[in-house]
Amino acid sequence: MKYAFYPGCSLECSSAAYAQSIAAVCRLLGIELAEVEDWNCCGATEYHSLHRLTAAAVIARNLALVDGSLTELVAPCAACFLNLKKVDHQMSEDPAWASKVNAALAAGGLMYEPGRVKVRHLVEVLHSDVGEEGIRRRVKQPLRGLKVAPYYGCQIVRPYKDVDNTEYPMKLDELMSWVEAEVVPYPTKAACCGGHMTQISEAQAYELLRRLLQSAEDAGADVILTMCPMCQLNLDAYQSGVNSYFGTKFRIPILFFTQVLGLAFGLPLKQLGFGKEIVAAIPILKQKVPAALAAASAG
């Protein structure tokens, strides 16, 4: 299985743990990810707040750079995923808009044929292309005893309805159950982490994060699993901020789902980026899945 890969800016540094664990897990599963040559930032939610056509053109440059022999592009970040998918979608349904975007791309000698590339999130690829059989047969360290709250956030499951259920998605739940982790019912699984609100308005951001942490604690989760760098950063790096703001005592490690998959596959900890999370995950893993952790530490 070979896909074009758009890592996005966060994976270069602040979410290196995601980048490392994606690489390790995909290598093991025989998924080849070919990074888009010289990709640029997708503009997150910021660029189209100021400029509509330029935002689309900046995003479309990446679609235009996808190797002509590949038809599917995998993005691991929610914002990148939605931006790429949305630009392709809007160009496909509005030819006049597509020619405007292409007129801009032409200034750089590029062009994108709408619909040529199918944009997918990594969780879809693992869930649907690798599938239950492919995941189960790789499991070396079943994660029985580890309670995980699967967190989807917003932009992977909305507004487009073809990825998963928009209100109560299940793909990550299923993926984690295939490695025998104990998936807790997590009512806020598709609620919002606040995105850039942590930079703009503490009060709003902290309240949104508090709800997610509280709901995971109420469900008895040992860890929250994310599939987006922004969600991970907000829940992890601002958790102590939430605690001092509300007087709460949350200490819930926030991991990328690929780190935990890797653990179940028996991959070495150092290939999975553990230790970069701010709320440390190792102590609870040692307690709940000692065998898996011992195997991963030895590797």
Give dist(CA 283, CA 272) in Å, integer: 16
Q: Which of 132, 204, 270, 283 binds another protein (CB under 8 A)?
A: 204
Which among 274, 234, 230 is positioned nearest to 76, based on CA atoms?
230
Tokens of 56: 């689309």
Q: Which of 49, 71, 128, 287 binds another protein (CB under 8 A)?
A: 49
Minimum CB–partner distance for residue 7 and another protein (Å): 11
Tokens of 72: 């599917």
Which among 74, 9, 77, 68 is positioned nearest to 35, based on CA atoms?
74
Q: Which of 96, 199, 249, 298 binds another protein (CB under 8 A)?
A: 199
Does 105 help bind another protein (rule: CB under 8 A)?
A: yes
Does 34 help bind another protein (rule: CB under 8 A)?
A: no
Minimum CB–partner distance for residue 56 and another protein (Å): 8
Which among 3, 7, 70, 1 is positioned nearest to 258, based on CA atoms?
7
Does 270 help bind another protein (rule: CB under 8 A)?
A: no
Please count the residues of this chain forming the interface with another protein, following the rule CB under 8 A: 66
State which of positions 247-266 bind another protein (CB under 8 A): none
Q: Which of 94, 113, 132, 218 binds another protein (CB under 8 A)?
A: 94
CA angle (200, 206, 211) in 5-degree steps:
140
Of 91-99, 111-119, 120-128, 138-146: span binding another protein (CB under 8 A): 91-99
State which of positions 113-152 bind another protein (CB under 8 A): none
Does 47 help bind another protein (rule: CB under 8 A)?
A: yes
CA distances from 191 to 121, 169, 173, 208, 212 (A): 18, 11, 15, 8, 8
Minimum CB–partner distance for residue 247 and another protein (Å): 18
Q: Which of 2, 30, 32, 51 binds another protein (CB under 8 A)?
A: 51
Comparing CB distances to another protein, the nearer of 92 and 297 is: 92
CA distances from 228 to 122, 234, 245 (A): 10, 10, 24
Place of tokens 């995923």: 81
Window 164-193: contact mask with another protein (x via CB under 8 A): --xx-----------------------xx-
Does 43 help bind another protein (rule: CB under 8 A)?
A: yes
Minimum CB–partner distance for residue 128 and another protein (Å): 21
Q: Are residues 83 and 230 in contact, defined by beta-carbon separation less than 8 angstroms? A: no
* Residues whose CB falls within 8 Å of the CB of residue 160, separated by 6 or more in sequence, listed in order: 82, 85, 86, 89
Q: Strand, helix or coil at 158? A: coil
State which of positions 214-243 bind another protein (CB under 8 A): 237-238, 241
* Residues whose CB falls within 8 Å of the CB of residue 175, separated by 6 or more in sequence, listed in order: 123, 126, 127, 135, 257, 261
Which among 100, 104, 95, 98 is positioned nearest to 61, based on CA atoms?
104
Residues that bind another protein (CB under 8 A): 9-10, 12-16, 38-41, 43-54, 56-58, 61, 90, 93-94, 97, 100-101, 103-110, 154-155, 158-159, 161, 166-167, 191-192, 194-197, 199-201, 204, 208, 237-238, 241, 275-278
